[in-house]
Amino acid sequence: MNRINELFASNGDRRILSIYFTAGYPALDSTLAIAETLEKAGADFLEIGFPYSDPVADGPVIQHSSEVALRNGMTLQRLFEQLSNLRKHVSIPVLLMGYVNPVLQYGVERFCQSCSDVGVDGVIVPDLPMYEYEELYRPVFETNGLSNIFLVTPQTSEARIRKIDELSNGFIYLLSSSATTGKNLSVSERTEAYFSRIQAMQLKNPVVIGFGISDRGTFLRATDYADGAIVGSAFVKLLGEADYMERIPEFIRQLKD
């Protein structure tokens, strides 16, 4: 069991909160300080995005953060250097999230080894095909103790969801909609039916909902149907403000309390 498994195994009825932010934003060297502050404020696990020049699934807020991070000089190599002291400062689960192209350029085996070396627990690469993961990369991930997190959308078939559940060893990332990030969560009858359908499948892996979670109301609605929820764009927007470090504890408190 890695830290992700331990978190969900011990959560009881607690609503799990994950926070996403982009490495190298707003400043090149802000990543580790933000992670440490988020843990102290009460976040349950973190998703650190590694920026990419063509973030097709991201809305304008996260796209902007990626552009700034790249201009600041953030790369995967630099990120791993920054995270070399991660486990001296952060004890909660940490995942890296990004697109497959930078991973392939860095080298998949080297990437997984680097994740293991710095204490990263899992990876979310939405455009890594499930077939390629299963046939080519699964042993590399598992050897390095990494959970590969798959995404499910309202259009995902039951057969594919069952396959994802079989291949997963952390949690399943349930997208609230097929829109890009940053859209507000609107729990319509259709959305409720989608969430309820996933609940009824009784998957063996925990489910975490992302996309559109921005405040306590949307966090509570999402976690009525799932084990946890992910806040991304709303937090990244906060990081664009001058006093963001001082405001992080209150941001987390308003979500959880």
Q: Does residue 188 form part of some domain?
A: no
**Environment class of residue 246 by beta-carbon count within 10 Å: exposed (0-12), middle (13-18) or buried (19+)?**
exposed
45 CB-side CA count, 13 A: 27
Q: Does residue 34 form part of some domain?
A: yes
Please list the pLDDT of the chain residue by residue as tens digits (257 residues).
799 999 999 987 889 999 999 999 999 999 999 999 999 999 999 999 999 987 766 788 999 999 999 999 999 999 999 999 999 999 999 999 999 999 999 999 999 999 999 999 999 999 999 999 999 999 999 999 999 999 999 999 999 999 999 999 999 999 987 654 445 555 566 788 899 999 999 999 999 999 889 999 999 999 999 999 999 999 999 999 989 999 999 999 999 98
Count: domains in the chain: 1
Q: Does residue 192 form part of some domain?
A: no
Q: Does residue 205 form part of some domain?
A: no
Q: Domain containing 248: what range?
A: 15-148+213-256
Domain CATH number, residue 23:
3.20.20.70
Q: In three state form, how does the secondary structure of 144-179 look?
A: CCCEEECEECCCCCHHHHHHHHHHCCCCEEEECCCC
Q: Does residue 161 form part of some domain?
A: no
pTM of the model: 0.94
CB 157 within 8 A of CB 130: no
Catalytic residues: 47, 58
Max CA-CA distance within the chain? 47
Residues 6+ apart with CB under 8 A from 109: 140
